[in-house]
Structure formats: structure tokens, C-alpha cells
Copies of this chain bind each other. A is one copy, B any other.
Amino acid sequence: MDDQQTATAQGAREAAAPKPLRADAQRNRDRLVEVAATAFAEQGVDASLEEIARQAGVGIGTLYRHFPTREHLVEVVYRREVEALCAAADDLASHHPADMALEQWMQRFVDYIATKRGLAASLRILFNTNSAVFSDLSGRVSLALRQLVEAAAAEGSIRGDVDASDVLHALGGIYSAPDTKDWRDRSRRLVKLLMDGLRFGAGKM
């Protein structure tokens, strides 16, 4: 009878009010994410959480308070990286001609994917567990790509008869290619090839 707050009420209101963290807590949290990003990149998602806490200069308890499970931490790191990738689209767009921006972004996208190949299984579990994460992130990516494609098409530097989802599919094909030694080089060539295809007939619309 002492119980006042049901579990449902608790869960319903997390998106609305992320309640501000205390300064030290925020600092520790940021530091953990930073270190975790490096650790996951270097050693995969099985990197030791105790080691991450140690390198971040906090106790293991602090890590677990901020990220109750390994998956929580992975999600935050992963989301941060995808957001950085999307942000890069804007940056490239404002510093390069539209077709170059598109090409460079795709190159970067492919490079990024390359570092994540080993994580495929973990990410699939993450997405199954919480498919909102997946749709959110993949939505951002395709939005970023669409903007680049449309800008280049509008500018006339690539053809106008393709849309972003075609391009995303083409990139997806690169991703699912076998994991050979020269994977990265080949991907680079494929992106260039794709760009040539896009440039072909530019302005004809």
C-alpha cells in the first residue's frame, strides 16, 4: 500500500522531461560516452565496461547508474555517431559544390559503415529490442542524404531522375558486399562509379 508511483506512469513521461543532471553527473556522463566511443571502436561492443569506467576516471557504479545495461551505452554512442554523420551533411553542403558534397558524404558514410561491420549483430539486437531507435536513426540518415541529392539535382550537377532512396539502396549494396581485404578500396571505387553515373546526363532534365 505504500507504493504510490506505478511503473506505467513512470515510463510514460521520459521523453518530455529529461530532468537536468547535476553538473558533476553530466561531466561524468559525457566522459563515459567519450571513452566508450573509443573503446567500442577499437575493441568492439564487448569492450570491458570496467575498463571504460576506469579510463573515464569513475567507479563502475557510476557507469551503471547512467547506463543500466551495455545496450544503453551502445545506443547512446551509436546515436551520437549517426548524428555527427548527419550533421556533416550540412557542413559539406555549405563548403562544397553540391555534387562534391554528395560524393564526400557518401564516402564518409561508407567509411563509417565499414567500421561498424562487426557490430552488425549487436545493432540488430538493439533494433529488435527498440525499433524506435532504428526508425529514428535511419530516418535521419535518409533525410540527410535526400537533402544532398536534391541540392545537387537542383544545381544541375547530377541528373534529376534519381531519388535519394535509389542512392541509399546502392550504398546498401556496398554495405552487404563480402568482407574482403580490399573492401574499403573497392567501396571507394564503387562510390566514385555511382557518382559518375549520377553525373551522367546532368542538366538534361
- Please give the residue numbers on chain A whose beta carbons come within 8 Å of chain B beta carbons, in ascending order: 121, 125, 128
Tell me, in angstroms, the Cα distance from A93 to B121 when the chains sit together. Answer: 41
Q: Give the distance to chain B from A169, nearest Cβ to Cβ, in Å.
A: 22
Q: Can you sample 2 A-B contacts with CB below 8 Å?
A: A121-B125, A121-B128
Tell me, in angstroms, the Cα distance from A174 to B194 when the chains sit together. Answer: 45
Contacts of A121 in B (CB 8 A): 125, 128
Contacts of A125 in B (CB 8 A): 121
Tell me, in angstroms, the Cα distance from A128 to B128 when the chains sit together. Answer: 15
Q: Give the distance to chain B from A4, nearest Cβ to Cβ, in Å.
A: 25
Tell me, in angstroms, the Cα distance from A125 to B128 when the chains sit together. Answer: 13
Contacts of A128 in B (CB 8 A): 121
Tell me, in angstroms, the Cα distance from A121 to B128 when the chains sit together. Answer: 9
Q: Give the distance to chain B from A133, nearest Cβ to Cβ, in Å.
A: 17
Tell me, in angstroms, the Cα distance from A128 to B121 when the chains sit together. Answer: 9
The 2 A-B residue pairs whose C-beta atoms are closest, nearest first, are A121-B125, A121-B128
Q: Give the distance to chain B from A168, nearest Cβ to Cβ, in Å.
A: 24
